[in-house]
Structure 1
């Protein structure tokens, strides 16, 4: 395999001149540049782009960090992000931390050691002083997705959860539902808080506030939603509709109903914020918000690469942007008109 020394010998120039020609790191006359390029072709030298990027402090590799790749939403984000980055000439370095903020910090450090150009972070938002710990660790250009980290000086792409809540509530009210329960996730995480607060606000505005005993927080897992469904449906005054925050909760509710000999929508209507293609695979098929995950990935990749490829430090230092992308409600067969 030809080396840079072979090119220098064939061109009759120094290795420094060959390096300057390849890397554009110093002025080289047109005559010398032509000789070097001819020598490169003659000896069959192929520059190593990884080594070149490291020398120049550049990289075309982006790190993606997600809390749990087993979660359908995170898996879909990873697939779409890889496609979006590939279309822009970048590759992806991936890590899943199992919802462990300590591992998340370790993964960020490891990616920095691998000289990634920037990061797309789907944050855990867990643990005391999370923002205080995570923000200093993000020493490379970063875009946050799905969850907002208060005070983080980075661009952020999230779903418009307030709009989604209004779409869900409007649909249930149109079907005559008034006794509506919400199974939510961890408090203190923006996506869960926004979905719960948005649903409660929309119902309150319509004159049908959600009773506190119809709200389950910290029930993000399938087994927790299973027990919540059993609890709700064993009551004398049980809800006529249940709202879930994510796909795992939806699966848990369906199993909880099945364990009691109940079924949606015959015994209770079921609707979810988390759509994906899995909603059409349940029995019944779940009425849900359809999140445009490719659009989220495209927007995040575009924002990050725009920062990376900005030609001056002023452009790179513009204020962080927050982009909220709308979802649409897909009506399937899990909700029924009351009465």
Structure 2
């Protein structure tokens, strides 16, 4: 009795060949997506597959071909809407080319990230797309180097890895946003974003500093809060920045979670956005649209990022060399960067005490 290639129906690839009236090799070419198949042949085989309810044994296919037709995707934080949108666009692009995607989330933990990469390697994925928690962690670098297949980095740079990358032009977006705030008279501009161990934070700081230099205004390093993309960090840093005697008149927050935390901190301090303090968010989230005033932002196309990552992966699986794709950022000034109303010292001191309780 022939071995079944399908646990669900018991139909084998041989049954499909008999049903379609074609050779076994012809069925195999159709099922593996071989280009040397006529439309008539493909139609016959696909009709037989549908009629018999045949489901191929993917494990057996991967052992024969050496390909699992699966791409691993390691996210820094799957709860972040930006990453969710990137993953969705990546999965859609891969699916159109016959690939599936296996997603893991590191939740911002370096040890989890290394374990996820090792897991995907053991699952024999054909390649890995990854947004790293840190570019400098040795365990992560070692896990990446051990991947048997192409690697695509999302907005990260790891020297010596030989990976492809989708990079965002954070420098230009933050430069334009900072320049706009400076042109409106703001010189005490807080910057809250992630640690300098990732490219996005370094490029945002570079754009911020370049805008100050172009305006001939010195940077006050006490206004920089760079350590995490988490909301709790942003909230605590906003409260710290506004505890200074000469508090910020504007804020730039790096990432959706950072913006959410900053908003919580400003609300706790009873600072009105657009009047007491100007605010620019880095990345947009539809939920921000319900806020008043409208928030100025530096945005990037998350769908374009995901599609580009999938395209780079597929190209390398077909023999192409690793390359880098740059995604533009766009600064959109809105009502949250209006003129700032100075708060009198007494209410400022009272709000600060309430926030620190």
Q: Pick the TM interval, shorter chain.
A: 0.7 to 0.9
Match of 1:188 among 194, 197, 202: 197
**Aligned equivalents of 1:203, 1:137: Cα separation in 2:** 42
Q: Per the alignment, in what secondary structure is the counterpart of residue 101 of structure 2?
A: strand
The runs of 5 or more residues in structure 2 that have no matched partner are: 1-9, 33-40, 342-357
Q: Which residue of 154, 159, 164 maps to 1:155?
A: 164
8 A Cα contact 2:16 2:54, kept in partner: no
**Aligned positions, number:** 318
Equivalent-residue separation in structure 2 for 1:11 and 1:78 (angstroms): 38
**CA distance in structure 2 between the aligned counterparts of 1:78 and 1:225, rounded to whole angstroms:** 25
Residues 52, 284 of structure 1: alpha-carbon distance in 2 compared, 3 angstrom cutoff = same
- Alpha-carbon offset, residue 337 of structure 1: 2.8
Partners of 1:172 and 1:230 lie apart in 2 by 21
TM-score (normalizing by structure 2): 0.79
- Correspondent of 2:262 among 246, 253, 262: 253
Mapped pair 1:137 → 2:146: yes
Q: Residue in 2 aligned with 1:234?
A: 243
Partner of 1:48: 56
CA distance in 1: counterparts of 2:225 and 2:291, whole angstroms: 22
Q: Return closer, same or farther for 1:301/1:338 CA change in 2, 3 Å cut-off.
A: same
Equivalent residue, structure 2, for 1:121? 130
Aligned with residue 82 of structure 1, among 91, 112, 115? 91
d(CA) in 2 for partners of 1:235, 1:117: 52
Correspondence for 1:330: 332
Contact between 2:300 and 2:330, CA under 8 Å: does it hold in 1?
Answer: yes
Question: CA distance change for structure 1 residues 128 and 325 in 2, over 3 Å: closer, same or farther?
Answer: closer
What is the CA-CA distance between 1:294 and the residue it aligns to?
0.7
1:169 is aligned to 178
After superposition, give the CA deviation of every residue in 1:261-316 in whole Å (9 maximum; x if it has no partner): 222121110112222434324443321112101111111111111111x2xxxx44
The residue aligned with 2:347 is none
| Structure 1 runs (4+) greater than 6 angstroms displaced | 7-13
Q: Which moved more, 1:124-133 or 1:199-208?
A: 124-133
Where does the alignment leave 5 or more consecutive residues of structure 1 unmatched?
26-33
Specify whether residues 104 and 131 from structure 1 end up closer, same or farther in structure 2 by C-alpha distance, changes over 3 A only: closer
Specify the alignment match of 2:70 in structure 1: 61
Cα distance in 2, alignment partners of residues 258 and 9 from structure 1? 70
* 8 Å CA contact retained: 1:3, 1:45: no
Change (3 A) 1:126 1:157: closer
Distance 1:259 1:53, change over 3 A: same
User: Paired residue for 1:93?
Assistant: 102
Cα contact 1:225–1:253 (8 A) shared by 2: yes
Instruction: Give yes or no for contact 1:155–1:322 (8 Å, CA) kept in 2.
Output: yes
- The CA deviation at 1:95 is 0.7
Q: CA RMSD, aligned part only? A: 3.0
Of 274, 279, 289, the residue aligned with 2:298 is 289
**Counterpart secondary structure, 1:120:** strand
Shift in Å at residue 127 of structure 1? 6.2
Cα distance in 1, alignment partners of residues 17 and 129 from structure 2: 40
Corresponding residue for residue 199 of structure 1: 208
Secondary structure of 1:334's counterpart equals helix
SS of the aligned residue for 2:337 comes to coil
- Quote the residue 1:29 is aligned against: none
Which whole-Å CA distance do the structure 2 matches of 1:249 and 1:285 have between them? 17
**Would the aligned equivalents of 1:67 and 1:123 in 2 still touch at CA under 8 Å?**
yes
Q: Quick check: 2:274–2:339 contact (8 Å CA) kept in 1?
A: no
Instruction: Note the alpha carbon deviations across 1:29-56, whole angstroms, 9 max, x for none.
Output: xxxxx9xx89x95995846162324311
